[in-house]
Each structure stands twice: as C-alpha cells, then as structure tokens.
Amino acid sequence: MTTPKTNKQDVDKVTGVETTGHEWDGIKELNNPLPRWWLNVFYACIVGSVIYWVLMPAWPGLPGIGGYTKGTLGFSDRANVSKDIAQLQAERAPLAAKLSGADLNTVEQDPELMQYAFAAGEAAFKDNCATCHGAGGQGVKGYPSLADDVWLWGGTLTDIRHTLEVGIRADHDETRYSQMPAFGRDGILSAQEISDVTDYVLNFSGNSDAGAEALSRGQEIYAVNCVSCHGDAGLGDRTQGAPNLADAEWVYGGSKAEVMTSISRGPFGVMPAWAGRLDSSTLDALAVYVHSRGGGE
Amino acid sequence: MSNKSQSSVEVHNVKAVNAADGRKFYKKREPIYPKRVNGQWRKIKWIAMIVLLGIYYGVPWLRWDRGPFLPDQAVLVDFEGRRFYFFWIQLWPQEVFFITGLLILAALGLFFVTALFGRVWCGYACPQTVWTDLFIAVERWIEGDRNARMRLDKAPWTWDKVRKKVSKHIVWLFIAAATGGAWILYFHDAPTVAANLFMGTAPVTSYLFLGLLTFTTYTLAGTMREQVCTYMCPWPRIQGAMLDNDSLSVVYRHDRGEPRGKHKKGEPWDNRGHCVDCNACVAACPMGIDIRDGAQLECINCALCIDACDSVMEKVNLPKGLIAYDTEANSIRRQMGDKPVFRFVRSRTVYYATVFILVSAVMLYALVNRSSLDLNVIRDRSPNFIQLSDGAIRNGYVIKAINKTGEARTVTLSIDGPESMALTGLGVAAHDGVVDIEIAPNAVRAVRVFATMPKGVAKETNDLTFNLVDPEDGSRRSAAATFAGPKS
C-alpha cells in the first residue's frame, strides 16, 4: 500500500499531525489515519460487487446480441411479481368465495364482507366502468349516473347484478333490450310535431312554457307514439328501460333542444355484457359497489 | 512492571493508544486491557448495568390485563395487529406522533443531561458502554485481570489458552444471543415466541433479527468496543454543541498534579505535583487513553480513571480527586487561585429544561385527552354532489368509526348542520335523524352515509359537523365536514 502524499512541511501544531495540504479559509485538513476495519469494509464491498455480478442479473448484452447476464440465482423481478399476484389472489380467494355464495342483500350488513366487496368493486369499477360512468359513477351526458336514485333497469342489488351480467343492448342472449324509434330521422314525426311533443314531455316536470294549444297537440302525439313505453304520466317502464320523463334527471339532457334531439334520433345506449369478461365474485363486488354509490334501492 | 521496594504504588507500563507520537496511517487496532478498579463510580456503573440490563431483558415478560380480546403483554409492539401497547396506553398507527414526541423528549433529555453533567449517557447508560462493560467483566472472569490477559495473549497456544479463549467466546455468544432473543420478545407474545424460538417454529423474521442482533452484540461489544465510540458513533461529534466551559466532565487537575514524577515512600511533596505517574488511570481506561492529555474525543467520561487514581491517592496519603468531575471554567479559576464554582443554572440548561417541560406538557395533555373513540370523515369528491330525481341534493361520505376499547360497542352518528339536512346510512339502522353503528372490539368500521337536502335549499358550500357518541359512557368525537351543492 502506498502512503498517501502528505505535506511534511506543514504539521499542525496542536495535534502534531501532518496536513493534506488542503486548506479552506485557513482551516486545514489533517491527515489522520483511517481505521483498518473501515478500509477492509471497502475491500469487502469490491469483492461483494463481483459476487453480485455472478449471482444476480447485472450486465446488459453486447450490441447486436441483446439479452443480459441472468445470474446464477435465477432472480427475476417479473417472475416475483407474477408470484406475488398469484399469492394475493390465493389470499383473497376465501373472501371472494364467501361473497359469491352470499345473498347480496346481506353483504352491506356484514362489515368484513362489505369492506372486501367495496374495495374489490371499487378497483373493478375504475378498471372497467369509470371510462363511461365517471370515476365516482356520476355519469356524463349519454351515460347514466349510478350515484343518483334514477334507474333505467332497476336499482336493487339483484337488478344491478343482472344488468352487469347481461349488458344493455349487448352481445348476450338475455341482454336487456329495447329501442326507441328515431322519430325525426326515420320521418315518423315532422319537426313541428316533435316540438309539440317535447313541450308536452317537459310539462310533466313543469319545465315547459308552451301554450295550451301546443300542449294539447303534443298530448295527442304522445298518446299515439310514446305512451306504450313511457306511460300516461311519463313515469317510464323499467321492464323495457324506458326512462321516467317526469323527474329531474335526463340522461341525454333536459333542455328543449336536447329532448328534441333525443326524440328525433332515438337514443340507443349500449353497455357490454360483463359475464365472461369478469368472474362471478367480481360482478358481485361491482354490484355492491354500484349499489353503495348512493342511489341503490 | 512494579517496584514495590521503593513505593507502595504499582506503576503500569502502559501508553495511551491515541498518543500523539505513536500515530501512523492505516494503524491496526491496539488491544486494550482495562484493569479492574474499585470505587464509588465503579459501584454506580455496576448498579446502572444491573438496572438497565434488567429492564431490557425483563420488561417483555411483564403482564398487563386488557380483557379477552387484547394481548396481555405490558409492552408490546404488535406489527401484525398494528398496535403499540405500553401498560395502560394503547396506540394506533395514526397516533405514531406520540412515539415521535417520545423521541424528541429523549433527544432533549440527552441534550439537557449532557449540558449539565457532560457525557453521562456515554459513560453509564449507552448500550454500547453497558454491553462492552459486561463483556469485559466476562473476559476478566475467565482470563484474569489486565496483566494475566496480556500474558495470555502473548503466550504460545496451549490447551489452557484454547480452553480460556473458547469459553470466553461461548459466554459472549450466549449473552449476544440472549440480547438478540430479548429484542424479539418485544414484538410478539413473549412466552409463546420464546418457546417457538427454541422449537424452530418462530417466524423467519424473528430468526433473522435474532441472528443480526446476536452478530452486532458480539462484534460491537466483544471485538470492536471503543472503536464504535471513536469511529462509528455520531454522538461524540454532535455533543460538542451541548458542552461549554461549565459542563461537568472527567478532568485531570493539572494545577494540582504537575509537575508529575515518580514518588518514593517518605519523600516530601514540596516543589512537585501530586501525580506519581503510576499510569493507573491509563491502565483502567476502557478507551485506552490518557486522561492527563486533556479533553479528548475518545473519552466517554466513564469515571473509571477517577476510581483508579483515588485508590492511589489513598495509598500515598493525599486527598482524593486528582482526577475528578470538574469543569473547564474551574480549572482556569484554580490556576488563577480562585475558588471553584459549579454553575448548573445557565441559559443553556434553562433552555433545554424549558423546551423539555413544554414538550412533556403537550404530550401529557394529548395523552390524557385521548378518546377511546375516534372518527374520520372522507367526503366523496367524485361526484361532488348528486341531484336526485326529485331535485334534492345528496352528498356521500365514508365514516370511519374507531373503537379503541377491548369491547364491542354501539355508537350513534348524528349531524349538526342545516335543519333540512337528513342523514341515512348503508347497512346501518337510521332512526330519528341518527345512525346506529356497531363496532367490533379494537376495530375500525367504515360506513357509507349520505346527507340529503331538499331541492333549492342547499348552497354551494354548507358546513356540517358529524358527531359520534357512545350513549353508554358518554365519550364523543366530532369531525367537521362540508356539504356541496350546485352553483346558484
């Protein structure tokens, strides 16, 4: 070992130690000995790093060859993550099975099951549902809110679970299906008739300022074209997904122009059938989560 | 080595390991053979060792009855259950600030004591000092005192030397393993985990930590000793900031001792100092230094040199205290011919004491006013609010009701807010505007609740307060929240 270069001329008077010759504003660095064990730790680290290269993935491959040195221990982060996920699923399996077997209506009374269903449902909701229905299920124009008390196809846990399974106007044998005609586009009603019936529909919720004459014209058109699905008082029909026209909620907007657009084009909202895409216990969890958003019946 | 025909005092052939003329680069550790001393400070150190080791090894075995649902260990850090138990106190993870406060108190206490009495922590209470002291005692018990140990190390390898060395390391390893083992006991039910450790059925982490702490105890107290204090520990560097000219430290009194020199029995003490240059202080020093070189980084103020010197002073019929607890200011006063003064009340000590009392008071207040009930409210932000079919406005909240007792309880949740506001919950019974929530012992229950206001009443922001009350013992917690409505 070579002795570090020191300044033999410059010896600190107080301690009698040579300095390294480094000086900052009159403060000089003394050249005190480094403990032997410290030095040995440094050498041990060098040896350790060489051992690490052998045992663990360390060096990238040469250009053109690619790959990397895999190390003799066979360590792989990717494999570890897969293992962790499998372990996590195994740990969750008992609760998932309990949820699958449970009557959904009792889940909310069971804190443990509720906590699991809520967390699992929230995760599944954010992955699969939030794109259309929003992060908290608040919906946007054209995509119904899941947080309010308005349900096109029913808001009990069983109804929600079934809707999730079969979808709406989706590729499933039992899918929930209905179709409102495109009264304007298909030439069933004229523009004036659509305006009149819109006034009549808006009047259900007291939001129309049209005169009695227009309303009576609209009533006639409504009685012929709309009443079979939406009902005499415009309360809708859940068996065919016909929305309530008398409440404050409008999936496609509640201004006169928006309602006229809906009547003219005939809305045809679609939700995929989730059976087959998500497993049964995830659907249960999703139903509980959606039900818990605030509007569940 | 000693010359008893001329003097009653044994003279030791020993040199300080950090002596200025012996310094070399990449110097090997010089073995230190501390000599046994007797005296009042040694007695205090024995007592401190017994008390501190007794606390460390004994506390996990203390029991404390907390009812059927909670562990009965007096001091337990329960990572699995996420609780910290300390006798009658039970802390939850969100109350970890009490631990922070305790660490702040420990730091302030250390500053205060250091400013008052110097490095008493280093000398008496630091685990490094206590365990090193214990390991040296074992070494002395098996291999003999200083001279015998030096002879043994120089001697060729004989059966007797092997026997002594092996038995010393076995006892050391046993103490080290007991130290590592006792650490584990603080994190699990002590009797169970102790049995499991022997049966081989304890968790892997227990064995890992047992091994780690056995290794560190064995190396730090057995083989590294004073090097830990000199090279590894940051405290000797920091504590310079707490010391001043009036801080107590172990000091050799130059004014009385110099000029030093050998002394034969019956010789007069005129025109010379009281130091007989017997090196007893150096031989006794576990750090291997010479206290007569003045204040040094290496000195841990263990006061063993005081005892060593006092017994020599006794033999030569001179007053004790040539080496004593003293202050820098006093040694200057003595040189000027003034009387020594000990000033314990100084702005520094007053500041440390004031801050210490202040922090203690705040912590005590917080501890005494801790409720056995806790409440957290998280309002839905997405959506901010919901309009219902009749135009009413509803906000969703997740209520976390926390029961810190060992018994199940039913508490009621109510709201203080605009009069028209109604409260409902999911999976809980609502009646008369309040919601009943059952909480399991020692548990958190998350419940979704909804506050609803009729059409046209809600402002853009409305204030409300959630109240959680236990009707049985009257304990209550409140949490402020807001209720969002549409822009008007």
| C-alpha distances out from residue B59 to A59, A129, B56, Å | 50, 54, 6
Query: B292: distance to nearest CA of chain A, Å?
Result: 15
Q: Are residues A108 and A229 in the same domain?
A: no
CB contact under 8 A, A37 and B29: yes
pLDDT at position B2: 44
Whether omega before B259 lies within 30 degrees of 0, making that bond cis, reads yes
Hey, is the C-beta of B237 within 8 angstroms of any chain A C-beta? no
- Residue A2: pLDDT above 70? no
CA angle B222, B278, B30 (to 5 degrees): 30
Return the sign of the alpha-carbon dihedral for residues B151, B153, B156, B157: positive
Pick from B322, B317, B283: nearest CA to B306: B322
Tokens, residue B16: 């300080």
Residue in chain A nearest B227 by alpha carbon: A35
Hey, is the C-beta of B25 within 8 angstroms of any chain A C-beta? yes
Query: B462: distance to nearest CA of chain A, Å?
Result: 19
The Cα A29–Cα A18 span in angstroms is 9
Hey, is the C-beta of B286 within 8 angstroms of any chain A C-beta? no
Pick from A30, A275, A47, A243: nearest CA to A151: A243
Phi, psi of A234 (to 5 degrees): 75, 25
Q: Is there a contact between B152 and B161 (Cβ–Cβ < 8 Å)?
A: yes
Best of B17, B18, B21, B26 to mutate (most A CBs within 10 Å, chain A): B26
What residue has token string 């050249």? A31
Q: Note whether residue B313 is domain-resident.
A: no
Q: What is the CATH number of the domain that holds A255?
A: 1.10.760.10
Other C-beta atoms closer than 10 Å to the C-beta of A133 total 21
pLDDT at position B196: 92
Residues in chain B: 488
B275 CB burial (10 A radius; 0-12, 13-18, 19+): buried
Q: Are residues A142 and A280 in the same domain?
A: yes
Please state the domain count of chain A: 2
Hey, is the C-beta of A115 within 8 angstroms of any chain B C-beta? yes
Hey, is the C-beta of A206 within 8 angstroms of any chain B C-beta? no
Q: Note whether residue A149 is domain-resident.
A: yes
Hey, is the C-beta of A157 within 8 angstroms of any chain B C-beta? no
A127: domain range? 79-173+272-292
Question: Which of B:432-461 have CB within 8 Å of A?
Answer: 440, 445-446, 448, 450, 455
Contact residues on chain A for B389, CB-CB shorter than 8 A: 148-150, 244, 247-249
Q: Note whether residue B280 is domain-resident.
A: no
Q: Is there a contact between B316 and B51 (Cβ–Cβ < 8 Å)?
A: no
Q: Are residues A215 and A259 in the same domain?
A: yes
Low-confidence ranges of chain B (pLDDT < 50): 1-5
Question: What is the ipTM metric for this complex?
Answer: 0.71
Q: Note whether residue A28 is domain-resident.
A: no
Q: Note whether residue A285 is domain-resident.
A: yes
CB contact under 8 A, A36 and B396: no
Q: Note whether residue B309 is domain-resident.
A: no
Tokens, residue A125: 């909701």
Phi, psi of A198 (to 5 degrees): -60, -45
Helix (DSSP H) and strand (DSSP E) numbers for chain B: 15, 15
Q: Note whether residue A88 is domain-resident.
A: yes
Residue in chain B nearest A35 by alpha carbon: B26
Helix (DSSP H) and strand (DSSP E) numbers for chain A: 11, 3
Best of A149, A157, A289 to mutate (most B CBs within 10 Å, chain B): A149
Q: Note whether residue A261 is domain-resident.
A: yes
A167 CB burial (10 A radius; 0-12, 13-18, 19+): buried
- Give the closest of B26, B382, B427 to A34, CB-based: B26
User: Strand order of the sheet with strand B461-469?
Assistant: B429-431, B434-439, B409-416, B461-469, B476-484
- Give the closest of A109, A145, A296 to B386, CB-based: A145
pLDDT at position B1: 43
Please state the domain count of chain B: 1
Hey, is the C-beta of B391 within 8 angstroms of any chain A C-beta? yes
Hey, is the C-beta of A118 within 8 angstroms of any chain B C-beta? yes
CB contact under 8 A, B386 and A294: yes
The Cα A260–Cα A264 span in angstroms is 6
Q: Note whether residue A14 is domain-resident.
A: no
Beta-bridge partner residues of B63: B73
Phi, psi of B478 (to 5 degrees): -125, 155
Q: Are residues A92 and A205 in the same domain?
A: no
| C-alpha distances out from residue B72 to A128, A264, B193, B306, B397, Å | 47, 73, 14, 46, 36
Hey, is the C-beta of B21 within 8 angstroms of any chain A C-beta? yes
Contact residues on chain B for A235, CB-CB shorter than 8 A: none
Q: Is there a contact between B476 and B465 (Cβ–Cβ < 8 Å)?
A: no
Contact residues on chain B for A251, CB-CB shorter than 8 A: none
Residue type, B135: F
What residue has token string 């122009």? A257
Pick from B445, B438, B424: nearest CA to B471: B438
Query: B297: distance to nearest CA of chain A, Å?
Result: 12
Beta-bridge partner residues of B431: B434
Residue in chain A nearest B445 by alpha carbon: A111
Q: Are residues A160 and A201 in the same domain?
A: no
Residue type, B219: T
Long-range Cβ contact pairs of A99-108 (< 8 A, separation 24 or more): A99/A281, A99/A284, A99/A285, A100/A280, A100/A281, A100/A284, A102/A284, A104/A157, A104/A158, A104/A161, A104/A284, A104/A287, A104/A288, A105/A157, A105/A158, A107/A157, A107/A284, A107/A288, A108/A288, A108/A291, A108/A292, A108/B426, A108/B427
pLDDT at position B269: 84
Three-state DSSP at A176 gives strand
Q: Note whether residue A224 is domain-resident.
A: yes
Q: Is there a contact between B450 and B395 (Cβ–Cβ < 8 Å)?
A: yes
Long-range Cβ contact pairs of B260-267 (< 8 A, separation 24 or more): B260/B292, B262/B7, B262/B11, B263/B7, B263/B9, B263/B316, B264/B6, B264/B7, B265/B6, B265/B7, B265/B8
Hey, is the C-beta of B26 within 8 angstroms of any chain A C-beta? yes
pLDDT at position A225: 93
Q: Is there a contact between B423 and B433 (Cβ–Cβ < 8 Å)?
A: yes
Contact residues on chain B for A115, CB-CB shorter than 8 A: 446
Question: Which of B:396-415 have CB within 8 Å of A?
Answer: 396
Q: Is there a contact between A196 and A221 (Cβ–Cβ < 8 Å)?
A: yes
Which tens digits make up the pLDDT trace of A130-182?
999 998 888 899 999 998 889 999 999 999 999 999 999 999 999 999 999 99
Continuous H helices in B218-315 = 226-227, 235-238, 254-257, 280-284, 304-315
CB contact under 8 A, B25 and A137: no
Best of A1, A114, A129, A141 to mutate (most B CBs within 10 Å, chain B): A114
B327 CB burial (10 A radius; 0-12, 13-18, 19+): buried
Cα A5 → chain centroid? 65
Q: Note whether residue B113 is domain-resident.
A: no
Report chain A's C-alpha Rg in angstroms: 36
Pick from A149, A92, A90, A144: nearest CA to A117: A92
- Residue A277: pLDDT above 80? yes
Which tens digits make up the pLDDT trace of A173-220?
999 999 999 999 999 999 999 999 999 999 998 888 888 899 999 999
Residue in chain A nearest B231 by alpha carbon: A35
Which tens digits make up the pLDDT trace of B159-180?
999 999 999 999 999 999 999 9
CB contact under 8 A, A115 and B390: no
Tokens, residue A48: 């350790």
The Cα B368–Cα B382 span in angstroms is 38
Contact residues on chain A for B446, CB-CB shorter than 8 A: 111, 115, 118
Residues in chain A: 297
B170 CB burial (10 A radius; 0-12, 13-18, 19+): exposed
Hey, is the C-beta of A64 within 8 angstroms of any chain B C-beta? no
Query: A7: distance to nearest CA of chain B, Å?
Result: 14
Pick from B239, B387, B220, B241: nearest CA to B301: B239
Question: Which of A:164-203 have CB within 8 Å of B?
Answer: none
Residue type, A79: A
B436's torsion region: left (phi>0), alpha (psi -120 to 50) or beta?
A: beta
Q: Note whether residue A55 is domain-resident.
A: no
Hey, is the C-beta of A8 within 8 angstroms of any chain B C-beta? no
Q: Are residues A153 and A117 in the same domain?
A: yes
Across the A:B interface, residue pairs with CB atoms under 8 Å apart total 90
Q: Note whether residue B464 is domain-resident.
A: yes
- Give the closest of B386, B390, B440 to A138, CB-based: B386
Q: What is the CATH number of the domain that holds B380?
A: 2.60.40.10
Helix axes A280-292, A157-166, angle to 10 degrees: 130
The Cα B13–Cα B25 span in angstroms is 24
Q: Are residues A158 and A240 in the same domain?
A: no
B453: domain range? 373-484
Q: Note whether residue B421 is domain-resident.
A: yes
CB contact under 8 A, B426 and A296: yes
